[in-house]
Amino acid sequence: MNDLNVDSYKKLYSGKIRDVYEYDQQHLLIVTSDRISAFDFVFKEEVLGKGSLLNKMSIFWFKLTNGIIRNHYIDKKPKIDSNLISRSMLVKKTKVLPVEAIVRGHIAGSAWKSYQEHGSINGVQISPGLSEYDRFMEPIFTPSTKGNKDENISISKMKDMLGEEVSNKIIKASFDLYNFAYEYSKSRGIIIADTKFEFGLNDNNDLILIDEIFTPDCSRFLKLDADGSYDLDAFDKQYFRNYLLASNWNKNQIKIPSEIKKNLMNKYQIAYDLITKKV
Ligand SMILES: Nc1ncnc2c1ncn2[C@@H]1O[C@H](COP(=O)(O)OP(=O)(O)OP(=O)(O)O)[C@@H](O)[C@H]1O
Ligand SMILES: [Mg+2]
């Protein structure tokens, strides 16, 4: 099922959703599969078309934001089976920095949990009175380590790990990217509550934006409804998570009803159409 038939390239990683191959000395080939995961569980069954949609979305954002910071995307068709082209991205190989650069404009997920428990996020005190999904006065930067276990760290810990100069560049680029994409998406009906970036260094030690950006897999997309409330399962995996919760799923492989797969694809498609439409 997952046989990508790209045997001529050496597979370097197989993540939950994406497979990374060594294309040549300077480049990697990232192939986004149709796999679906939820609650850290990868399902055997796939959602046809999902990989290509996620891949297209990331490419769209890389092209749109390359004036803000250099990124790894190479606008060239890789030499690969034609049925994989739409799911493949050719990228510049970099030395990955071991920090996930997370920017949050609205309070959600683990940040909401931490705020409720301690009144702080990544050790930084946040003013009281926020409700879940409220917008912060200013976006906040909450790094975590990248590895088997993602652990939230303070900005000063990040500076200890990466150095002051590179850390400051990452923080500035992350805010610039987030603020740009936030306004851009908002005018198209999508609120990017939070998002995650990864960065790497090229041979000249220049900072390069890598991995994927502003997809529903690395961001939390909310839909702003006419009454000012947020619709949480409009675009991203929350819809699928809700289905699993409602059906008392117990971490086993299941047959995903075709209706659910169809609805899920529709949601990704709507997000893509909104983001890429001309206004
Ligand atoms: N330009 C690049 N140079 C080097 N490594 C890259 C580049 N772009 C992405 N990567 C790495 O490729 C991998 C992409 O794999 P993927 O995100 O699917 O897996 P993962 O993050 O290890 O696991 P998962 O996302 O399933 O939790 C990541 O480890 C990412 O850091
Ligand atoms: Mg990843």
Ligand 1 geometric centre to CA of 271 (Å): 23
Is ligand 1 within 6 A of the CB of residue 96?
yes
What pLDDT sits at residue 2?
43
3-state secondary structure of 58: helix
Question: How would you classify the pairing of strands 95-96 and 88-92?
Answer: unpaired
CA of 118 to the centre of ligand 1 (A): 32
pLDDT digits (tens, 9 = 90+) for 51-89: 999 999 999 999 999 999 999 999 999 999 888 999 999
Please state, in angstroms and rounded to a whole number, the distance separating the CA atoms of residues 174 and 274: 23
Q: Count of residues for the chain?
A: 279
Residue 1 has pLDDT above 50, yes or no: no
Instruction: Give the CA angle between residues 218, 241, 224 to the nearest 5°.
Output: 65
Q: For residues 208-229, give the mean pLDDT.
A: 92
Query: 140-170, pLDDT tens digit by residue?
Result: 999 999 977 789 999 999 999 999 999 999 9
Determine whether the shortest distance from the Cβ of 29 to ligand 1 is under 6 A: no
Domain ranges of the chain: 95-231
DSSP 183-203: HHHHTTTEEEEEEEEEEEE-T
Q: Is the CB–ligand 1 distance for residue 20 below 6 Å?
A: yes
User: Residues 124, 156: contact at Cβ < 8 Å?
Assistant: no
Average pLDDT over every residue of 198-206: 97
Q: Of 240, 38, 220, give the one whose Cα is nearest residue 132.
A: 220
Beta strands in 211-252 (DSSP E): 219-224, 230-231
How far is Cα of residue 32 from the mean position of the Cα atoms in its chain? 12
> Is domain 95-231 given the CATH code 3.30.470.20 in the classification?
yes
Structure tokens at 203: 């041979």
CA distance 274 to 22: 33
Structure tokens at 224: 């702003």
Instruction: Determine whether the shortest distance from the Cβ of 211 to ligand 1 is under 6 A.
Output: yes
Of 18, 54, 206, best ligand 1 pocket probe by most atoms within 8 Å of the beta carbon = 18
What is the per-residue pLDDT across 27-49, written as a single tens digit (0 to 9) for each? 999 999 999 999 989 999 999 99
Ligand 1 in reach of 70 Cβ (< 6 A): no
Q: What pLDDT sits at residue 5?
A: 65
| Nearest residue to 20 (alpha-carbon basis) of 196, 175, 212, 255 | 212
- Judge whether 222 and 238 are in contact, CB under 8 Å: no
| pLDDT bracket for residue 252 (50, 70, 90) | very high
Contact 91 CB / ligand 1 (< 6 Å): yes
Dist. CA 36–CA 54, nearest whole Å: 12
